[in-house]
Chains A and B, each alone.
Chain A
Amino acid sequence: MGNQKARAIASVLIVVLALVLIVTGVVGMSRRATATGEEILTNMRTRAVLIATGEGAVESYVAIAADQAREAAQAAGASMSEIREAVAAAEEEARNNSSANLLDYATADTTGLDAALSTLRAALMDYRAEEAAAEAAYVEQMQATAAPEETEVDTSQLTSEADLEAMLAEEEEVEVDMSGFVATERMNELRAIADEKYAGVCTELMALYDTLDQAALDTLEGTIFDIVSQSGDDFAREYDRYNAAGGAAALSNRFGAWVIRYGDDLVYVGVGLILAALVVFFYPTLVKKLGVPRMIIGLFFVLLCVVALIYDLSLSGLMSNTLVRMGMNSILVLAMAPGIQCGIGLNLGLPIGIVGGLIGGLLAIEWQIGGWLGFVFACLVGMAISAVSGALYGMLLNRLKGSEMSVTTYVGFSIVSLMCIAWLVLPFNSLELRWPLGTGLRNTIVMSDATSFGHILDNFLSFSIGGFTVPTGLLLFMALCCYLVWLFMRSRTGVAMMAVGNNRRFAEATGVNVDRMRIIGTMISTMLGAVGILVYSQSYGFMQLYTAPRQMGFVAASAILIGGATTSRCKISHVLIGTFLFQGVLTLGMPVANALVPQSTISETMRILISNGIILYALTKSGGEQRA
């Protein structure tokens, strides 16, 4: 009871903290649009501009001093080196003097400049808006006239998934050559107005800096324009920009401004804390319902969401990516289910099925069967091949009962290595598949949307709501497969198969043919592996041969274990939850890790850590199933 009390107190404290954060954050955010927020921005803007122009002023002051020194030295008839020294000394002196005494920011009267900058900003915003509209129209026009060229990608150099990932991201942004873009008339008008306002600003600036001349101010125009306004401005962006330009020094209440700037982040953290408080409060129930690993991963996922929001990453985009990745991996994970249920445990020999599916896909491309027909054809061929190899594999496993885990692992590895030879010697002729020179199949084969069945499920009935794209076809196919497996588990054979997995001696005592059930389970698992890799490839847009399938069994195994399955028991819900959590953590983890530690491979490291760690955890559990 004492424990429960402590938990209650802790959770209440966390909730109080969270509420404080949320209220502060909401208040801060609400003040952005008020006079307070405006004042903060105005102050910072003015200071930023003053600093920028101040630097310009110093430079012109230094230049004058240098000229004077040179002339004086030349008049004295000094040698070249002496002149150079004299000039340097004068520059140094002038810089030091002017930096210190140029302007006392705190006491200077900037009211006039404030007003001038505000009008300039208003004018610039009009201009930027027009520019953006004009550019968008131009891009649309260009795309309409010129059909998008088929971009030839050299995939030979791409090996790791991360590379492909990066390439995919690039591919999504269609690049239009902007060199032909000409400013519209309206833009020119608005620009003229902005220039006019800038003249007002110049007057104010020259009043403050006596050394500034018009020429220096003309060169500073671009810099000041960029400081004052940029397209897509909001409070946070402006604040950050002025802050970077040194504007924060102008603030009288820095903390207040900070709260207003980071109000949204405070709210996110607050919401996260409330979730944490709920977890603390319901800890025993949650652990009982979900189990420790699922809870940890779930919390990690929520943490990633909060961090993504704080770093202003597009959460809707990441979520839609998660959904796609969940769909593309789900069938591979689903393939684990019959294996577990028939008692062979984690089917780490999944590459056997994957290889079958790949052959099906290759044949479809070789014979140029595209679209839905191609997908169905590839699935059928893949399943046929996998059914045969799955049956043989099942017979092998029946002879090695009790050590399935190591056998499946080794079989998986061997088949991948064997197929590495096969990919080199199989007589495929299509140039899409073969290396341009020499023999053998490519490492990575592009599945184009047009001629093959790339993205055929992803694009089917897909729609998007505000940056959140729903791959309807993919999700429907996932649901269909899950439903079929679920249905099978309710059939007479399915029930018998589950009994074999659950308690082999029970099944034997009831006259169930244990070996046959295990073979059936292995076959279904392998066949699902074949369909799974085709779904994966079509969504990915590439088929990966050679060593790529090696890790897939492990990834699928860890996903289903995260979902709550054990090595002897699993349900369809475990497949779905596990795939979502696993892929969600990876999808969010990559950009978040890159935001935290730029230019690192930490996300790849994390993926390996998570997937292998989960398998290890599950193995420690699989021995001790005897419950008191």
Chain B
Amino acid sequence: MSAEYVLQMKDITKRYGENTVLEDVSLSVRPGEIHALLGENGAGKSTLMNILFGMPVIHATGGFSGTVSLDGAETHIQSPHDAMEKGIGMVHQEFMLLPGFTITENIKLNREITKPNLVSRVFGKNLETLNMKAMAKDARTALDSVGMSIDEYTLVQGLPVGYMQFVEIAREIDKKGIKLLVFDEPTAVLTESEAEQLIRVMKQIAATGIAIIFITHRLDEVIAAADSVTILRDGKLVATRDAKKTNTLELAELMIGRKGESMVTAPDRDKPHGDKVALEINHLCVDMPGEEVRDVSLKVYEGEIFGIGGLAGQGKIGIPSGIMGLYPAAGEVNVFGAAHELGNPRKSLENGLAMVSEDRRGVGLLLEQSIEDNIVFNAMQIKGEYLMGIRLLFSLRDSRKIRKVANQMIKDLDIRCTSALQHAGTLSGGNQQKVCIARALLMRPKLLFVSEPTRGIDIGAKKLVLETLVRLNREQGMTIVMVSSELMELRSICGRIAIVSEGRTVDVLKATDTDVNFGLAMSGIRPNQEGGSVNG
């Protein structure tokens, strides 16, 4: 540990085609330091770590510019395996453990201690016997160092989630010559006491001289655990702070920030929304994998654009999906005063709800069918429109009417395509999104859910999609509930924005609220009761 920094990444720039995802980012980590890496979704944290681990995705997309130095010497990390050899370890967010193996076997996987036997002397090293005793001893040491008293011969299968996290950490610690450990949102799946224990273990590990990069979005944990903090926003380095000289408020503000001028501005209105409640949600739970909604209560008024924000995986997407009936849901939902049946997509559509899904290719489109077939599908199936012949008994699609309405929509929404017959799968992301919106519009919905409308589409298309939403709201008085990870977008067109964290609504903020309030809400802290988080 002769050099001052165990890891130095300097002026890292990474482009995916035209799109710059990292620009001149630098990161320096001292030995034995816990260094927090903070940022919103898409701020560039994962890309930075991918570069550090030499992931194939980086090399396959043209590499990066800038230098990476370990212990003061410049290195080129070719592959994740290479990174491991050079003493960089990773504790994954999703556990990479084999459930049918014991803890010892998992810890020692691919680094087994072996002893020679008769067969191996003839056929080579691959057939040597496992030295279970020595392996168990090593595993015991590693487990002890993370404070786990569990027996090292236990199967991983059936262990509590928190234990698996510690086994994963133990595995990384057990690696010889480990210098740097990366923790990728380790507390996301842990209970409060487990999280506390984890932080304690991290500090213990750091005390032995191993540096730790701690990726998280929980501001209070950063303050509690980290020595220094690096904050990324939009692929740029915002600031590096000493954790002892900062506080959650400053971090929240740095993390959110004002990202330049807003692209779209909704014209102000005298009265932001009507008095009638369009959508009332009480204690909604939705079982959507990766986006669980635990307890959400909201009120959306007629004629407003209501935003739902929050970080990825916190449950905001689960809200519209649950109400539309795509996933099992429980709770009480009233639409325009009438009770709404959950779990029945057809009923939802018939009741005047419509949704533009965030998963365009998975749920939103028939990729192998034409634009026109995509656009009229719902109206045809639910409302029985665009059909000719005897209803119910023998009804055929009315090609002429379909072509007419499709061309109209292509013109209105400026869908760039060769013709209405082009397959939806061959369109660009933005145009696919417009096709999805067109389909929702043909249902003439009273309430429109728009989920991540700008995900994966270019800036021009983003502007057009947002403008379309504003126009629908202002001109036709359509109530819109927009779910987005991009706070900027929500704040530019929504009147009120609910922030969701860990499946619960933290707060409903006005678009004009301060960055600090948004930043705190995003990390689960209710702004008006500063310091303590709602959910502990």
Provide the residues of chain A in CB contact with B312, threshold 8 Å.
none
Contact B324 A490 (CB under 8 A): no
B366 A569 Cβ-Cβ under 8 A: no
Beyond A495-B373, A510-B381, A511-B344, whether A487 also contacts B396 by CB under 8 A is: yes
Chain B residues with CB under 8 A of A600: none
A503 within 8 A of B: yes
- Which residues of the partner chain A approach B345 to less than 8 Å between Cβ atoms? 508-511
Q: Which residues of A contact B344 (CB under 8 A)?
A: 511
Contacts of A499 in B (CB 8 A): 366, 369, 377
Chain A residues near B362: list those with CB within 8 A. 503, 505
Tell me, in angstroms, the Cα distance from A568 to B367 when the chains sit together.
Answer: 11
Partner of B347, one of A495, A509, A511: A511
Chain B residues with CB under 8 A of A119: none
Interface residues on A, range: 20 to 34
Nearest 6 A/B pairs, CB to CB = A511-B346, A511-B345, A502-B366, A490-B396, A505-B363, A490-B397
A141 to B141, CA, bound (A): 107
B369's closest neighbor in chain A, by CB?
Answer: A502
Chain A residues within an 8 Å CB radius of B425: 627
A282: Cβ under 8 A from any B Cβ: no
Could you name 13 residue pairs across A and B whose Cβ atoms are closer than 8 Å? A490-B397, A491-B397, A492-B384, A495-B373, A495-B380, A498-B369, A499-B366, A502-B366, A502-B368, A503-B362, A511-B325, A511-B344, A569-B368
Cβ 8 A contact of B380, one of A492, A502, A508, A627: A492
Interface residues of A in 492-519 (CB under 8 A from B): 492, 495-496, 498-499, 502-503, 505-506, 508-512
In this assembly, does B61 line the interface, its C-beta being within 8 Å of a C-beta of chain A?
A: no
Cα distance, A495 to B370, chains bound together (Å): 12
Q: How far is the CA of A496 from the CA of B346 in the complex (A)?
A: 13
Interface residues of B in 16-60 (CB under 8 A from A): none
Chain A residues in 8 Å Cβ range of B477: none
A456-511 with Cβ < 8 A to chain B: 487, 490-492, 495-496, 498-499, 502-503, 505-506, 508-511
Q: Which of A491, A508, A509 contacts B395 (CB 8 A)?
A: A491
B352 CB, nearest partner CB in chain A, Å: 14
Q: Mark B374-388, 1 if CB is under 8 A from A, else 0.
A: 000110111010010
B363 adjacent to A509 (CB under 8 Å): yes
Which one of B346, B364, B377 lies within 8 Å of A495 (CB-CB)?
B377
Whether A506 contacts B395 by the Cβ 8 Å rule is no
Complex CA gap A151/B387 in Å reads 56
B213 CB–A CB distance under 8 Å? no
Q: Are B326 and A503 in contact (CB under 8 A)?
A: no
Expressed in whole angstroms, the Cα–Cα distance for A512 and B344 within the complex equals 10
Complex: how many Å from CA A568 to CA B368?
9
Asked if B173 is an interface residue, CB under 8 A from chain A, the answer is: no
The size class of the interface chain B forms with chain A is 35 or more
Most buried by B among A495, A498, A568, A569: A495
A510-B350 Cα distance, complex, nearest whole Å: 10
Residues of B within 8 A of A508 (CB): 326, 345
Residue in B325, B349, B350, B365 whose CB lies within 8 Å of A506: B365
Q: Which of A490, A495, A502, A568 is within 8 Å of B381, CB to CB? A: A495
Asked whether B366 lies within 8 Å of A503 as measured between CB atoms, the reply is: yes
Contacts of B378 in A (CB 8 A): 510
* B365 and A509 contacting across the interface, CB-CB below 8 Å: no
| Distance of A502 Cα from B346 Cα, bound (Å) | 19
Chain B 112-146: CB-based contact to A (< 8 A → 1; otherwise 0): 00000000000000000000000000000000000
Q: How far is the CA of A496 from the CA of B377 in the complex (A)?
A: 8
A510 to B382, CA, bound (A): 8
Cα A499 to Cα B344 with chains together (Å): 18
Contact partner of B324 among A509, A568, A627, CB < 8 A?
A509
**Cβ-based interface call for B484 (8 A):** no
**Measured between alpha carbons, how far is A454 from B387 in the docked complex, in Å?**
41
Closest to B344 in A: A511
A502 and B363 within 8 A (CB): no
B454 within 8 Å of A by Cβ? no
B interface residues with partner A (beta carbon < 8 Å): 324-326, 344-350, 355, 357, 359, 362-369, 373, 377-378, 380-382, 384, 387, 394-397, 425-426
Complex contacts, B380 vs chain A, CB 8 Å: 492, 495
Closest to A511 in B: B346
Q: Which residues of A contact B381 (CB under 8 A)?
A: 492, 495-496, 510-512
* Beta-carbon nearest neighbor of B348 in chain A: A511
Q: B369 to chain A: closest CB distance in Å?
A: 6
Is there contact, CB below 8 Å, between B395 and A492?
yes
A341 to chain B, nearest CB (A): 11
Which residues does chain A contribute within 8 Å of B395, judged by CB atoms? 491-492
Chain A residues near B369 (CB-CB < 8 A): 498-499, 502
| Distance from B525 Cβ to chain A, minimum over Cβ atoms (Å) | 35
Q: How far is the CB of A311 from chain B (nearest CB, A)?
A: 43
A214 to B232, alpha carbons, bound, how many Å?
Answer: 116
User: A510 CA to B381 CA in the complex, in Å?
Assistant: 8
Chain A residue with Cβ nearest B398? A490
Interface residues of A in 507-534 (CB under 8 A from B): 508-512
CA distance A425 to B39 in the complex (A): 75
A506 to B387, CA, bound (A): 21
New A-B pairs, 4, CB < 8 Å, besides A503-B365, A509-B357, A510-B381: A503-B362, A506-B363, A508-B345, A511-B381
- Cα A498 to Cα B355 in complex, Å, equals 21
A511 touches B363 (CB 8 A): no
Please report which residues of chain A, range 604-628, place their CB below 8 angstroms from some CB of chain B when the two chains form the complex.
627
Residues of A within 8 A of B394 (CB): 491
Which A residues are in CB contact (< 8 Å) with B396? 487, 490-491
Query: What is the minimal beta-carbon distance from B321 to any residue of chain A, in angstroms?
Result: 9
Give min CB distance, A478 to chain B, whole Å: 22
**Which of A490, A503, A506 has the largest count of B CB atoms less than 10 A from its CB?**
A506
Chain B residues with CB under 8 Å of A569's CB are 368
Known A-B contacts A510-B378, A511-B346; the reply to A492 vs B387 at CB < 8 A is: yes
Across-interface contacts of A498 in B (CB, < 8 A): 366, 369
- Bound-state CA distance A569–B364 (Å) is 18
Tell me the minimal C-beta distance from B386 to chain A in angstroms: 9
- How many angstroms between the C-alpha atoms of A498 and B377 in the bound complex? 11
B382 neighbours in A (Cβ, 8 Å): 510-511
For the complex, give the distance between the alpha carbons of A503 and B364 in Å: 9
- Choose from A490, A491, A510, A568 the contact partner of B377 (Cβ within 8 Å): A510
Instruction: Report B-chain residues with C-beta under 8 Å of the C-beta of A627.
Output: 367, 425-426
Give every chain B residue within 8 A of A568 (Cβ-Cβ).
368
A490 to B387: give the CA distance in the assembly, Å: 9
> Which residue of chain B has the shortest Cβ distance to A513 in the bound complex?
B346
Q: Is the CB of B397 within 8 A of A503?
A: no
Q: How far is the CA of A130 from the CA of B223 in the complex (A)?
A: 115
Residues in B with CB closer than 8 Å to A490 are: 396-397
The interface residues of chain B lying within 8 Å CB-to-CB of A505 are 359, 362-363
Closest Cβ–Cβ distance, residue A395 to chain B (whole Å)? 21
**C-alpha gap A508/B378 in the complex (Å):** 11
A452–chain B nearest beta-carbon distance, Å: 34
Which residues of chain A come closer than 8 Å to B347, judged between CB atoms?
A: 511
Q: Bound state CA distance, A487 and B389, in angstroms?
A: 12
B211 to chain A, nearest CB (A): 38
> How many angstroms between the C-alpha atoms of A503 and B345 in the bound complex?
16
Residues from chain B with a CB closer than 8 A to the CB of A502 are 366-369
B134 smallest CB distance to A (angstroms): 43
Shortest Cβ gap from A573 to chain B (Å): 15
Q: Which residues of A contact B384 (CB under 8 A)?
A: 492
Closest to A502 in B: B366
B373 touches A511 (CB 8 A): no
CB neighbours (8 Å) of A509 from chain B are 324, 326, 345, 355, 357, 363
Who on chain A is nearest to B346 by CB? Answer: A511
Q: How far is the CB of A324 from chain B (nearest CB, A)?
A: 33
Q: Bound state CA distance, A508 and B357, in angstroms?
A: 13
Q: Give the residues in chain A near B324, CB-CB below 8 Å.
A: 509
Chain A residue numbers with a CB within 8 Å of B355 are 509
**Docked CA distance A495–B367 (Å):** 14
Contacts of B373 in A (CB 8 A): 495
Please give, as numbers and ranges, the residues of chain B lying within 8 Å of A506 by CB-CB distance: 363-366
